[in-house]
A and B are shown apart, each in its own frame.
Chain A
């Protein structure tokens, strides 16, 4: 068991700000951890809590949800709606034992390529410390085995 744990991170981002910010990180040749998989949506308003649950089911050890800063939403208000949803959903996840540290939220603008790169590194490091989200992944494993009776 010498192989170090490589966390799987799924990021749900809006196309106008954070996706563009991630592109900027690329054009600036900033280096960051390769553990993240980005799913592009038009707006944070389109990011459903179900996406997060499915990412966890697929073995994500951490999830990032990111979009435009307040006031900067391309669609004027999608991120404000998203913010409310996250406030509530985050409380729900926390109450049911899905650690807050595994579900992260951020505002990253199209100009914040560096912030994107730093955040991905930070989440990767933090998740490495937290270890794999075995508790949730166990639920999926159980499904795949025959019932014991």
Chain B
């Protein structure tokens, strides 16, 4: 017996969740940019977007995060750790690829050291994924063995009803169950006709790609030089990626005090691997692009058993020179055996 959330009950749900101490975040479009932001009512939500331009990752791993506040004294330096608020949050309307991204990154942040900044937020957040009703030319979840209705990373999965009146609910976790409990009186029991999933064609042969990348012979292949020729070396693909997680730690301050911050960094930047000596082991853009692909489809899998890509396609969608993971992996797929 499944339950249904009606669109016209959404405002009541938001109110109920808020009353229970949750902030509700959903896709919003503000200042010509779509991202996840706090909403007060369903009208604030932009649920019809195929995908927000910014990923949900931002809400767990912000682009800049203060870690430590310090004061420079005559004899010693006083410091104070800054931790994120213990705010309970509902993420409503997350796309399966973004939610998967969180799940993909969890092992990374909890591997040798449990990143409090990540997990404090993860533990206090409930992810309500909505399965996709549409896809565009850049979507490629199926190519990485996910799907438009993947429940990976989701506490609750909603499937849109055909007539658009609401969503059919699937619950996967205790956290999801608890969230729905708050609004149980607002939900209907029953089965509806759900919207058919969009066709997302497989664009590359992941098995072949992984095999090719795993072959050490190919590391120095001319392939990398050719494929990355037009890469201009910006960080937009990494910063808009739901799984890219590299960061840098910087102290910012003046004479008397300052803050140590954790900032996003990108393997696309020449500075990423620059040594103090001036030597740069990845001194060309092709080696940087190779690193990005290798990290996602070889090294990460080697360490954590999953590929670090959830198939959202943002890398291609926003690339100023129309590059992206899809093109590269397609090209590998098409290489002669």
A24–chain B nearest beta-carbon distance, Å: 30
Instruction: Find out whether the CB atom of B252 lies under 8 angstroms from the CB atom of A143.
Output: yes
A95 CB–B CB distance under 8 Å? no
Interface of A is mostly: loop
A148–chain B nearest beta-carbon distance, Å: 7
B77-98, CB < 8 A from A: 82-85, 87, 89
In Å, the complex CA distance between A4 and B310 comes to 57
A87 CB–B CB distance under 8 Å? no
B53-72, CB < 8 A from A: 59, 62, 64-66, 69
Q: A137-149 toward B: CB 8 Å interface, digit per residue (1/0)?
A: 0000001111111
B121 CB–A CB distance under 8 Å? yes
In Å, the complex CA distance between A148 and B89 comes to 12
Chain A residues with a Cβ closer than 8 Å to the other chain, count = 8
Instruction: Find out whether the CB atom of B259 lies under 8 angstroms from the CB atom of A143.
Output: yes
A147: nearest residue on chain B (CB-CB)?
B62
B254 CB–A CB distance under 8 Å? yes
Q: Which residues does chain B contribute within 8 Å of A148, judged by CB atoms? A: 85, 87
Q: In which size bucket is the chain B interface?
A: 10 to 19
Instruction: Find out whether the CB atom of B259 lies under 8 angstroms from the CB atom of A149.
Output: no
A58 CB–B CB distance under 8 Å? yes
Partner of A149, one of B64, B69, B83, B87: B87
Q: Which residues does chain B contribute within 8 Å of A145, judged by CB atoms? A: 66
A56–chain B nearest beta-carbon distance, Å: 13
B106-126, CB < 8 A from A: 121
In Å, the complex CA distance between A147 and B69 comes to 13
Instruction: Find out whether the CB atom of A146 lies under 8 angstroms from the CB atom of B59.
Output: no
Instruction: Find out whether the CB atom of B87 lies under 8 angstroms from the CB atom of A146.
Output: no
A8–chain B nearest beta-carbon distance, Å: 14
Q: Which residues does chain A contribute within 8 Å of B59, judged by CB atoms? A: 149
Q: Which residues does chain B contribute within 8 Å of A58, judged by CB atoms? A: 254
B67: nearest residue on chain A (CB-CB)?
A146
Which B residues form the contact surface with A (CB < 8 A)? 23, 59, 62, 64-66, 69, 82-85, 87, 89, 121, 252, 254, 259
User: Can you list 20 contacts pairing A with B, beta carbon distance less than 8 Å?
Assistant: A143-B66, A143-B252, A144-B66, A144-B69, A146-B82, A146-B84, A147-B62, A147-B64, A147-B65, A147-B66, A147-B84, A148-B85, A148-B87, A149-B59, A149-B62, A149-B84, A149-B85, A149-B87, A149-B89, A149-B121
